[in-house]
């Protein structure tokens, strides 16, 4: 993970703590492993929520569906589940960030 990505994740975590309060490192690691496994199994794709999938995978798929659209930020700020999923997507290079 490059420095820009690490800084972006740190900023997301800071903003999530400010907005939602609790943001656990252990939860971050667990979600990272879930998203990493889902990515390796081809479960991350632009699709509607599926009751059979983990809530974090559904959140990640919703983020992927809205990424690059005007509904992305409202989706991202929906709840803490989406923030955890977004951090994991960035950490696994599923979503690439660019310099502003």
- pLDDT attached to residue 56: 95
- Quick one: DSSP state of residue 92? T
Give the predicted TM-score (pTM) of the model: 0.85
Mean pLDDT, to the nearest integer, of 15-37?
87
CA 9 – CA 32 distance, rounded (Å):
12
Listed by start position, the domains of the chain span 3-91
77-88 pLDDT tens trace: 888 899 999 999
Q: Which long-range contacts (CB under 8 A, 24 or more apart) does 34-37 make?
A: 34/88, 35/60, 35/85, 35/88, 35/89, 35/91, 35/92, 35/94, 36/88, 36/92
45-79 pLDDT tens trace: 988 888 999 999 999 999 999 988 899 888 888 88
How does residue 99 score in pLDDT terms, banded at 50, 70 and 90? low
CB contact at 8 A, 89 and 58: no
């Amino acid at each position: 993970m490059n420095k820009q990505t690490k800084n972006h994740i740190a900023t997301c975590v800071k903003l999530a703590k400010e907005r939602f309060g609790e943001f656990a490192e252990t939860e971050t690691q667990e979600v990272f492993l879930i998203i990493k496994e889902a990515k390796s199994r081809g479960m991350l794709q632009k699709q509607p929520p599926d009751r059979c999938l983990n809530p974090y995978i559904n959140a990640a798929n919703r983020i992927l569906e809205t990424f690059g659209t005007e509904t992305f930020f409202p989706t991202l700020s929906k709840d803490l589940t989406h923030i955890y999923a977004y951090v994991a997507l960035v950490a696994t290079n599923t979503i690439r960030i660019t310099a502003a």
